Amino acid sequence: MRLFFISSIIIISTAVSLHAETATVITKQTAIRESCRFFSPVKATVHYDDVLEIISKEGDWYRVQFKGFQGCIHKSSIEKSSISLSNVVGSEKQSTSGDEVALAGKGFNPQVEAAYKKENPSLNFQAVDRVENYKVLESKLIQFIQSGKLNLQ
């Protein structure tokens, strides 16, 4: 009887721990927001490859936990990775198109771009950097949307 009790606890705890869902950030940088919508206050900023713990799903958003912060992140900035017993028998499909995490930094990466730039010095990468460094302030974008009577999520 005692052995049955102990083994049941081991089985249940193993199953629970194997079912924990995590997600990895697949964008350079993105925000964890207070509530599950754009323009909600930012609670934390996360970066590529940061691992988040998924709490629940709310529409196109996930409620997650990261370094003591809890908030929402949009589905397009993460790749879900779950280790569950059901995966063993293949009944749960992974959520994304490719294993971004396994391929992180591989293939076409900064090293390849640097070598390509060196071989093609006439290409205007400086202008590309300027375009990318142009930042839109969220507060001004909200004002723009509101003054244009557009939809604010």
- Binding positions for another protein, rule: CB under 8 A: 3-4, 7, 10-11, 14-15, 18, 26-28, 30, 38, 48, 74, 76-77, 83-85, 87-88, 94, 97-100, 102-113, 115-116, 119-120, 122-125, 127-128, 130-132, 134, 136, 140-141, 144-145, 147-151, 153
Q: Counting Cβ atoms within 10 Å, is residue 120 exposed (0-12), middle (13-18) or buried (19+)? A: exposed
Q: What is the DSSP track for 101-113?
A: TTTTT-SS-HHHH
Q: How far is the CB of 71 from another protein (least distance, A)?
A: 15
Nearer to another protein, 68 or 110 (CB): 110
Count how many residues are written for the chain.
Answer: 153
Tell me whether residue 68 or residue 151 sits nearer to another protein (CB atom).
Answer: 151
51, 22 in Cβ contact below 8 A?
Answer: yes
Cα dihedral: 125, 132, 59, 12 (round 10): 70
Residue closer to another protein (CB basis): 5 or 68: 5
